[in-house]
């Protein structure tokens, strides 16, 4: 199956810090990248969808200026949580997708904001 | 807008029991349905994918069924083991087939 990596897998930061999460599809080209977050004991919630080379589309209630998404290449996408606050603490999961490939999921990044 | 619901939200059973997890969806025009497993603090692992033309899929002790007309799917786990303890999620794609909507998940605990 397809290999997807996320880095870092776990990060703790102080309130006000910006954190960048990388997602790489190691053996396929992802034309679309989905970013999800998951709060404790809840299911995954889609945050945004981005197509390579285009601006991301954000779901209702997700601040685009706070969660910056870059999808500059077919194998790399980044999510930057700007000026993180404790309520941003969550499990962030990327999901690269491509035509006839289906949808795969990264291992997730656990963000804890103190 | 597609809505996916899973019942029960949590389940605790003794080892060895056969169990059924339920998933329902409001829009029956789906391409497929997937069942995932998620261990605490981990990403998702795909368990089974049922195409819209199929009625069930089997993998080891897992069997997933799909009834599109009634908007339901079940995941049957035979002879449950403590290692099956995890959260199980079902998901269906949107009309373009490129984005998944997830159910709330069922948290399963299998006691030794």
Residues in chain A: 114
pLDDT value at residue A83:
96
Range among A104-113, B13-22, B47-56 with highest mean pLDDT value = B13-22
Is B68's Cβ below 8 Å from some Cβ in A? no
Q: Could you count the other beta carbons within 10 Å of the beta carbon of residue B43?
A: 22
Q: Does residue A102 have a pLDDT over 70?
A: no
Torsion of CA A33, A38, A43, A49, to 10 degrees: -20
Closest CB to B43: pick one of A41, A42, A108.
A108
The alpha carbon dihedral of A55, B103, B88, B75 has a sign of negative
Residue A42 has pLDDT above 80, yes or no: no
- Among residues B42, B24, B23, B32, the alpha carbon closest in space to that of B85 is found at B42
Chain A CB contacts of B41 below 8 Å: 91, 108, 110
Region A83-92: mean pLDDT is: 95
Q: Are strands A109-113 and A10-13 parallel, antiparallel or unpaired?
A: parallel
- Of residues A2 and A5, more confidently modeled: A5
Q: Which of B4, B40, B100 to mutate to test the interface with A (most CBs of A within 10 A)?
A: B100
């Amino acid at each position: 199956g397809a290999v997807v990596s996320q880095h870092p897998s776990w990060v703790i930061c102080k309130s006000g810090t910006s954190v960048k999460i990388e997602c790489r599809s190691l053996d396929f080209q992802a034309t679309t990248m989905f970013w999800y977050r998951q709060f404790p004991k809840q299911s995954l919630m889609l945050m945004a969808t981005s197509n390579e080379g285009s601006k991301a589309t954000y779901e209702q209630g997700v601040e685009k200026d706070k969660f910056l998404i870059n999808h500059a290449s077919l194998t790399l996408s980044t999510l930057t949580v700007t000026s993180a606050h404790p309520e941003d603490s969550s499990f962030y999961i990327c999901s690269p997708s491509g035509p006839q490939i289906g949808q795969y999921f990264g291992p997730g990044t656990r963000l804890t904001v103190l | 807008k597609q809505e996916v619901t899973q019942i029960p939200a949590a389940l605790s059973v003794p080892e060895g029991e056969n169990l059924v997890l339920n998933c329902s969806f409001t829009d029956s025009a789906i391409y497929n349905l997937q069942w995932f497993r998620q261990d605490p603090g981990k990403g998702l692992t795909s368990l089974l994918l049922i195409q819209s033309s199929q009625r069930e899929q089997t993998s080891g002790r897992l069997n997933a069924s799909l009834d599109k007309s009634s908007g339901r799917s079940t995941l049957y786990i035979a002879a449950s083991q403590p290692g099956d303890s995890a959260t199980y999620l079902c998901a269906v794609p949107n009309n373009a087939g490129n984005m998944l909507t997830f159910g709330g998940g069922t948290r399963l605990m299998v006691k030794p």
